[in-house]
Structure 1
Amino acid sequence: MTGTDPAASARLAELMRDEWGRLLALLVARFRRLDLAEDGLADAFEAAARTWPTDGVPSNGVAWLLTAARRRVLDRLRSERVLARSMPLLEVEAGLAARAQRVMADAGEPLTDERLRLVLLCAHPRLSPEAAAALTLRLVLGVPTADVARLFLRSTPTMAARLTRARKKLAGETFALPRGPELDERLAVAADVAYLAFTAGYAPASGDHVVRGELAGEAVRLVRVLRETRPALGVVAADDLDALLALVLLQHSRRDARVRDGALVLLPDQDRSRWHQDEIAEALELLAPLAAAPPTPYLLQALVAAEHAIARSPGATAWDRILARYDELLTLADTPVVRLNRAVAVAEVSGPRAGLDALAEVALPGHRLPAVRAELLRRAGDDDGARRAYDAALALCTNGAEHEHLRRRRAQLA
Structure 2
Amino acid sequence: MTAATDGLLRDLAPQVLGAVVRRYGHFDAAEDAVQEALIAAATTWPDSGVPDGPKAWLITVAARRLTDLLRNEQARQRREDTWKLPAAAPAADEEDADDTLILLFMCCHPALPRAHQIALTLRAVAGLTTVEIARSFLVSEPTMAQRITRAKQRVKASGVPFRMPADRDERLAAVLRVLYLIFTEGYASTAGPSAYRAELSREAIRLTRIVHRLMPLDGEVAGLLALMLLTDARRDARVGPDGVLIPLAEQARARWHKDFIDEGVELVTAAMSAGPSGPYQLQAAIAALHDEARSAGETDWPQIEALYGVLTEMTGSPMAALNHAVAVAMVHGPTSALRMVEDLARDKRLTDHHRLHAVRAYLLEMSGDVDGALPAYQEAARRTQSSQEQRYLRMKAAELARNLRGP
Q: What TM-score does the superposition give when structure 1 sets the normalisation length?
A: 0.88
SS at the partner of 2:215?
helix
In the alignment, the residues of structure 1 paired with residue 80 and residue 253 of structure 2 have an alpha-carbon distance, to the nearest angstrom, of: 61
Matches within 5 A, 1:247-258: 247-258=227-238
1:53-110 deviation per Cα after TM superposition (whole angstroms, max 9, x unaligned): 4444423322222111111112223332333102664449xx9xxx9xxxxxxxx999
Aligned to 2:329: 347
Letter in structure 1 aligned against 2:395: R
Letter in structure 1 aligned against 2:391: E
Q: C-alpha displacement at 1:380, in angstroms? A: 1.1
CA contact (8 A) 1:367 1:396 kept: yes
Please give the root-mean-square deviation of Cα atoms over the aligned residues, in Å: 2.2
Aligned to 1:198: 183
- 1:174 counterpart (131, 140, 160): 160
Runs of 5+ in structure 2 lacking a partner? 403-407
Matches within 5 A, 1:105-120: 112-120=97-105
In the alignment, the residues of structure 2 paired with residue 57 and residue 211 of structure 1 have an alpha-carbon distance, to the nearest angstrom, of: 25
Aligned to 2:248: 267
In the alignment, the residues of structure 1 paired with residue 192 and residue 239 of structure 2 have an alpha-carbon distance, to the nearest angstrom, of: 15
Matches within 5 A, 1:89-238: 89-91=85-87, 112-172=97-157, 173-177=159-163, 180=166, 182-230=167-215, 238=218
In the alignment, the residues of structure 2 paired with residue 377 and residue 352 of structure 1 have an alpha-carbon distance, to the nearest angstrom, of: 7
In the alignment, the residues of structure 2 paired with residue 156 and residue 388 of structure 1 have an alpha-carbon distance, to the nearest angstrom, of: 27
SS at the partner of 2:282?
helix
Matches within 5 A, 1:244-393: 244-261=224-241, 262-292=243-273, 293-362=275-344, 363=347, 364=350, 365-393=352-380
In the alignment, the residues of structure 1 paired with residue 330 and residue 156 of structure 2 have an alpha-carbon distance, to the nearest angstrom, of: 51
Aligned to 2:16: 23
Aligned to 2:81: 85
SS at the partner of 1:210?
coil
In the alignment, the residues of structure 2 paired with residue 389 and residue 11 of structure 1 have an alpha-carbon distance, to the nearest angstrom, of: 38
CA contact (8 A) 2:329 2:336 kept: yes
Moved more, 69-78 or 315-324: 69-78
Q: C-alpha displacement at 1:370, in angstroms? A: 0.4
CA contact (8 A) 1:201 1:213 kept: yes
Q: C-alpha displacement at 1:291, in angstroms? A: 4.2
In the alignment, the residues of structure 2 paired with residue 51 and residue 306 of structure 1 have an alpha-carbon distance, to the nearest angstrom, of: 46
Aligned to 2:393: 406
Q: C-alpha displacement at 1:29, in angstroms? A: 0.8
1:331-358 deviation per Cα after TM superposition (whole angstroms, max 9, x unaligned): 3112211110000000000112222122
- Structure 1 residues 28 and 110 mapped into 2: Cα distance closer, same or farther (>3 Å)? closer
Aligned to 2:405: none
Letter in structure 1 aligned against 2:381: L
Aligned to 1:104: none
- 1:71 counterpart (56, 64, 68): 64
Q: C-alpha displacement at 1:205, in angstroms? A: 1.1
CA contact (8 A) 1:210 1:263 kept: no
Letter in structure 1 aligned against 2:141: T
In the alignment, the residues of structure 2 paired with residue 119 and residue 390 of structure 1 have an alpha-carbon distance, to the nearest angstrom, of: 38
Moved more, 210-219 or 42-51: 42-51
In the alignment, the residues of structure 1 paired with residue 218 and residue 271 of structure 2 have an alpha-carbon distance, to the nearest angstrom, of: 10
SS at the partner of 2:234?
coil
CA contact (8 A) 1:111 1:229 kept: no
In the alignment, the residues of structure 2 paired with residue 315 and residue 185 of structure 1 have an alpha-carbon distance, to the nearest angstrom, of: 43
Runs of 5+ in structure 1 lacking a partner? 1-5, 100-107, 232-236
SS at the partner of 2:126?
coil
- Structure 1 residues 388 and 316 mapped into 2: Cα distance closer, same or farther (>3 Å)? same
Aligned residue pair count:
388
Q: C-alpha displacement at 1:219, in angstroms? A: 0.6
CA contact (8 A) 2:37 2:62 kept: yes
Aligned to 1:243: 223
In the alignment, the residues of structure 2 paired with residue 329 and residue 166 of structure 1 have an alpha-carbon distance, to the nearest angstrom, of: 30
SS at the partner of 2:36?
helix
- Structure 1 residues 45 and 244 mapped into 2: Cα distance closer, same or farther (>3 Å)? closer
> Could you tell me the percent identity over the aligned residues?
42
- Structure 1 residues 337 and 251 mapped into 2: Cα distance closer, same or farther (>3 Å)? same
- 1:396 counterpart (383, 386, 394): 383
